[in-house]
């Protein structure tokens, strides 16, 4: 069994160790300061002498397996283990922040069913279908208070029975003796993970949103430097929008709403104008009543919807400036166009639509020959 030094002292950054077994992609040591992936927390990284440890996972027996990049040291090799402390401290901070959030949620009657610690945020999946923003923002406020109070985070190994008598918020998942982690005056929970010494080290915790997953609410949080960066980024977004809308921060939403509404009205007006242009273009090009009517339109062909009457027997082929066509006529007529011209699309009854590629004037010229040829 590996002596798991991180279990009792999560601030140990290095230790002398000896290889006791070599497995497929890694090594087992007689002692280690490397925490293996588990409980939603990634495994540690660092070095063992000249070797690079890229990850730490539990092997089949639950022992920390140090994943080595390249050739592995042989059994009996002694060297200094050294943690990538920045990596570890980041996840240790997120893990401790998660303890605090879960403890505070529990005080609002919300249990934790799963957690995940990521590079950008950590999540706490609750046992509830709904958790109000009031509760989540209260938890954020209370976490801030706990951080400012620098509550001690301590741990104590004890028998299963003794731990059970503490009446903790979460049932104990392992057999035998357990490590119970305490947040002063707030929480006690059995956990084999690595923790900070004080809530003060978390710096800050920010509630970032929630989502529904497996019929539960999963809450999203940021802590420490990530929380600071998130706050700054949001401030930048607000400043940019404020400049863009020429509005004070508190008026951005009303300015944006007004623009969205105006945009909707303008689009509606534009469609009406396009319809008027479409009607004029059709009447200009159809002034002698000749069949077929073939022309290029400056407005989208969709503007002719309702203007070209579906069953009036007329043959019309329009290509717009946006690379789209509309054909009104028989299926035979459309099949001829499709066989001879670079048009893609389809339709039913008398109306066919799609896209065109290539020179519009030449397409219209060819269509004229094809459709007139057919009608003569």
Q: Which spans of this chain sit near Zn ion (rule: CB under 5 A)?
A: 191, 193
Which residue lies nearer to Zn ion by CB, 194 or 370?
194
Least distance in Å: CB of 98 to Zn ion? 8
Which residue lies nearer to Zn ion by CB, 7 or 85?
7
d(CA 34, CA 4): 8
Q: Which residue is nearest to Zn ion (CB)?
A: 191
103 within 8 A of 191, measured Cβ to Cβ = no
Which residue lies nearer to Zn ion by CB, 106 or 352?
106
Which residue lies nearer to Zn ion by CB, 83 or 188?
188
Three-class SS of residue 306? Answer: coil
Burial (CB count <10 Å: 0-12, 13-18, 19+), residue 367: buried
Which residue lies nearer to Zn ion by CB, 189 or 282?
189
Least distance in Å: CB of 8 to Zn ion? 14
Structure tokens that stand for 360 in this block: 């519009």
Least distance in Å: CB of 62 to Zn ion? 17
Contacts of 159 by beta carbon, 8 Å cutoff, 6+ apart? 177, 178
Least distance in Å: CB of 196 to Zn ion? 10
Least distance in Å: CB of 119 to Zn ion? 19
Full DSSP string of 147-177 = HHTT-BEEEEEE-HHHHHHT--SS---SSSS
Which residue lies nearer to Zn ion by CB, 72 or 95?
95
336 within 8 A of 346, measured Cβ to Cβ = no
Least distance in Å: CB of 39 to Zn ion? 7
Cα Rg of the chain, angstroms? 35
């Amino acid at each position: 069994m590996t002596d798991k030094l991180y279990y009792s002292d999560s601030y140990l950054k290095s230790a002398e160790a000896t290889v006791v077994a070599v497995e497929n992609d890694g090594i087992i040591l007689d002692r280690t300061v490397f925490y293996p992936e588990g409980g939603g927390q990634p495994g540690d990284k660092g070095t063992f002498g000249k070797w690079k440890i890229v990850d730490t996972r539990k092997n089949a027996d639950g022992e920390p397996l140090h994943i080595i990049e390249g050739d592995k040291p042989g059994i009996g090799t002694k060297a200094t283990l050294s943690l990538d402390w920045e990596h570890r401290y980041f996840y240790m901070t997120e893990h401790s922040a998660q303890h605090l959030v879960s403890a505070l949620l529990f005080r609002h009657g919300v249990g934790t069913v799963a957690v995940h610690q990521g590079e950008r945020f950590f999540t706490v999946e609750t046992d509830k279908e709904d958790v109000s923003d009031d509760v989540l923002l209260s938890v954020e406020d209370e976490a801030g208070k706990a951080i400012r109070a620098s509550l001690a985070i301590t741990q104590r190994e004890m028998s299963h029975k003794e731990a059970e008598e503490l009446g903790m918020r979460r049932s104990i998942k392992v057999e035998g003796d357990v490590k119970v982690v305490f947040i002063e005056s707030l929480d006690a929970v059995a956990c084999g993970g690595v923790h900070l010494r004080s809530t003060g080290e978390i710096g800050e915790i920010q509630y970032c949103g929630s989502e529904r997953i497996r019929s539960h609410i999963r809450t999203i949080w940021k802590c420490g430097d990530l929380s600071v960066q998130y706050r700054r980024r949001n401030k930048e977004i607000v400043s940019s929008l404020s400049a863009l809308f020429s509005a004070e921060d508190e008026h951005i939403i009303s300015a944006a709403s007004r623009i969205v509404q105006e945009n909707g009205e303008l689009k509606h007006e534009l469609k009406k104008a396009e319809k008027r242009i479409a009607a004029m273009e059709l009447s200009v090009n159809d002034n002698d009543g000749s069949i077929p009517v073939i022309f290029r339109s400056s407005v989208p062909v969709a503007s002719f919807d309702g203007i070209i009457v579906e069953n009036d027997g007329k043959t019309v082929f329009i290509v717009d400036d946006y690379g789209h066509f509309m054909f009104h006529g028989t299926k035979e007529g459309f099949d001829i166009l499709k066989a001879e011209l670079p048009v893609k699309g389809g339709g039913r009854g008398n109306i066919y639509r799609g896209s065109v590629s290539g020179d519009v004037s030449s397409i219209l010229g060819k269509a004229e020959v094809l459709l007139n040829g057919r009608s003569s």
